[in-house]
Structure 1
Amino acid sequence: MSTESHDAVDVIRTKRDGGELSPGQIDWVIDAYTRGIVAEEQMSALAMAILINGMNRDEISRWTGAMIASGERMDFSSLARPTADKHSTGGVGDKITLPLAPLVAVFDVAVPQLSGRGLGHTGGTLDKLESIPGWRAALSNEEMLAQLDGVGAVICQAGSGLAPADRKLYALRDVTGTVEAIPLIASSIMSKKIAEGTEALVLDVKVGSGAFMKDLENARQLARTMVDLGTDAGVRTVALLTDMSTPLGLTAGNALEVRESVEVLAGGGPSDVVDLTVALAVEMLAGAGRPQSEDDVRAALADGRAMDAWKAMVRAQDGDPDAPLPVARHQDVVRADRDGVVSHLDAYGVGVAAWRLGAGRARREDPVQAGAGVELHAKPGDTVRAGDPLMTLHTDTPERFARAHESLAGAWGVGDGAPGRGPVVIDEVRSEG
């Protein structure tokens, strides 16, 4: 005889019929799924019912809280400085975490950046950093706290103890066609971020072809849901909606993106990467109670303070910030087919090309090539001549070039007119209380 307080089929029926799940139903179903009492096919049915019928703010908040309660919570209250974190929904060439964490640390704010690996066409922050000789992603909680205390910034992999319910549910959503459910996306991201224990959180919600959210309205809904979840949990949360129709910066690929990040930390780098790094840093510092002007933040990139913090952060994780980065053994150049102006450069096509060249993985256990990826020489609005290089493809395995070229078919064009370049930050979503 079952001693369970609820029944999985009743919970599924409630949501299937458009009803609101009670706090007790939500707490039980997450806990019972984590314990293996609720079967995978039952959670699949519930996830599909949530995708179709949605959840209200109270339900999503309770669901997120139940996922947090399935594991441990980190505690940074022993640190002498406030904490702030950033989460990006993922894109192509999105190396922003690398210059951002040390930049924010310059202003006496601790940045505990628990990051992930890439899957599919979006790159993973840990894969990028692992192209630095010696650098390690796995830190104990004690090592992490010591580094935050000493250096002020850490980028490392999340421990398995944070929101274990999310890890099970994430894998399930992937194979059941329920990845797009906004309540499940929002609670997946926010359960980990709230469990991380940060006081302030800035969300970078990408919009466009290379992003998970292709249109502005869905991105805005996701941002609003996540900001509300953070607010309900007592975390100062703001979201920026940012453009991911074209790759960010001029590189997509692990060592290539580290190199570009170091250029930004040296006071140079592409303007879109610099602008977004600065915009996110300003929001993180305000959320942590250490507000700075945009000019002050830019000065920390120009005068070397952010670079010093970067080198200290890399060394603390056994990396050599001065070692040469890996370079792929083979290159292939894509050239302009006519004189004119680059009319479009599709982020998704470039992301898939980088992935096929070996920069990403199709399954979690796949290895990645440190030097593989795409280097851009021109972006929309740039004038080119016939034969000019538009991009260079990098890989250790030249048999991959053909598939990479396939993914770039139609992903770029050269025309007569110059499209206007919009700002990288499209909109912002703040707490409504």
Structure 2
Amino acid sequence: MTNIRERLADLLGLDGVSELALDASRSPLPMAKPTDEAELCAVLELAARDGLRVLPVGAGSRLTWCRPPTECDLALSTRRLAGVVAYEPGDGTLTALAGTPMDVLARTAADGGHHVTPDVPRPAGTTLGGVLAGGASGFDRLRHGPARWHLLGTRVAEADGRVTTSGGRLVKNVTGYDLHRLYCGSQGSLCVILEASLRLFPLPERRVVVRRSFPDAESGLAAAWAVARLAVEPLAVVLTDRPDAGGAPWSLEIVLGGRKARVAWERGEIEAALGEVAIEEDGVARAALLRDLEPDPTHAPALHLTSRPSRVAGVLSRAHGLLGSSGVTTTSVIHPGVATVDLPLPASFDGLAGLVRELRSIDGARVAVRGTDLPEGLEPLDPPRAGLALMRRLRGVCDPDGRFATGRVL
């Protein structure tokens, strides 16, 4: 490790090298922190020449989404490659370097009357490159879908240090194969994202949150399905059982955003469907609070469950039953429209492996475990059910010498 640090310091200077701790069972990795594209490519060229395996990272907020690498010699951070490269209000596009925090992108776009998707939790500690490489969707995914839908183009560094481009910066200039969308969710196994261009949306003139309380999750979910059948387009629909749920055990909150007249009409439609509701007029602040309810797995483990929308109630009931039998009390954050359930767990919970095994036996459920220092042998992700051979072939083409750290996904 010392020798690797010295070689990195020769390239980047002493302030360009630090450490990355992955878990308590292994020594920290030396981490290269280049300040520009040339330095980053030089690190990749060094790794290719000396046979070193590289783990690309942004701010590190999504490293817990996959298992730690089985073989890795150094981490390569893009967090100092930051800044907005181009913002075209007339075209509704924005291009930024991979290390740019998501809150910077949101403020830049908002100043010009635009909204950036995905609207991720804790955006100040999340980078653009990390969001794309992690395949993260945002709080606004019910309306806007996954990030890859709105990724126009990328510049990436391949395993040998070569820089390649896919797509373009403007909607009208996007040509060629959609390799940039292939990179979404690749977890740093195919390339290092250097720069990305996004399609933007108009900034909502108004946001409000419509809230209704319910005695149990089943009635809250039934109300969510009733809203889904309306001709409304919420930014998000969230069902929670947190202490601030308005006095009742469960609270359904529907975030509306858009032109004032449209928001007023959608509000009326929801009131007609659900009956008496509470209205949060400061929808921006409330939506940000709801967005940041997603558990932070860097502090304690969390479960992320997905299923078909029709099976959310059953999956939630089974999860609560298993947790209750283990003596664990938790809160729930449910997005019925996209069929996800997030459950934060106590840091000292000893029955995690058995709980996950039971949850993975539920027909139609997918279980992801997010957290540091997970029990040995516990897989954070369900194994891929289809496409595994294709995924391995793609990795073989993009990284034929296996320079990027192995074992995280494949």
TM-score for both structures, normalised by structure 2: 0.28
More helix by proportion, 1 or 2? 1
With normalisation by structure 1, the TM-score equals 0.27
